[in-house]
Amino acid sequence: GQQVMQIPQYQHVQEGEDFTTYCNSSTTLSNIQWYKQRPGGHPVFLIQLVKSGEVKKQKRLTFQFGEAKKNSSLHITATQTTDVGTYFCAGGGTSGTYKYIFGTGTRLKVLA
């Protein structure tokens, strides 16, 4: 079945450093979503990418969708302590449903 992997599993950065998490799907995706989950919280929608090669920015966050629509990345510039949490990608398949396969997640810790 479809699998979505993320690397790295954990990342500790010093406040002000950049951070990137990578997401890879075993199958071609119709779209990809990114979520942030704070410790003890629930996933919060960040963005959806649909087009091949798409790049979207939200303030210090940059999201990319690969040309083959099988991989994606999230880059955070100049991390802040408020960026702490686990970042998940969720791949949407082509079945016509809103079925999303979540990645394994990258847990980010930011050291002040």
Partner 1 sequence: ETGVTQSPTHLIKTRGQQVTLRCSSQSGHNTVSWYQQALGQGPQFIFQYYREEENGRGNFPPRFSGLQFPNYSSELNVNALELDDSALYLCASTRYNEQFFGPGTRLTVL
C-alpha dihedral sign at 64, 46, 5, 106 = positive
* Helices (H), ranges, the chain: none
Part in contact with partner 1 (CB under 8 A); list of ranges 13-21, 35-43, 55-63, 72-80: 35-43
Could you identify the residue written with the tokens 């799907």?
25
Q: Is 31 in the site for partner 1 (CB under 8 A)?
A: yes
- Measured CA to CA, the distance from residue 59 to residue 108 in angstroms comes to 18
Query: Smallest gap, in angstroms, from Cβ of residue 28 to partner 1?
Result: 18
Query: Smallest gap, in angstroms, from Cβ of residue 106 to partner 1?
Result: 10
What residues have CB less than 8 Å from 94, skipping those under 6 apart? 28, 29, 30
Query: Smallest gap, in angstroms, from Cβ of residue 109 to partner 1?
Result: 14
Q: Is 39 in the site for partner 1 (CB under 8 A)?
A: no
**Interface with partner 1 (CB under 8 A):** 1, 31, 33, 41-45, 48, 88, 90, 95, 97-105
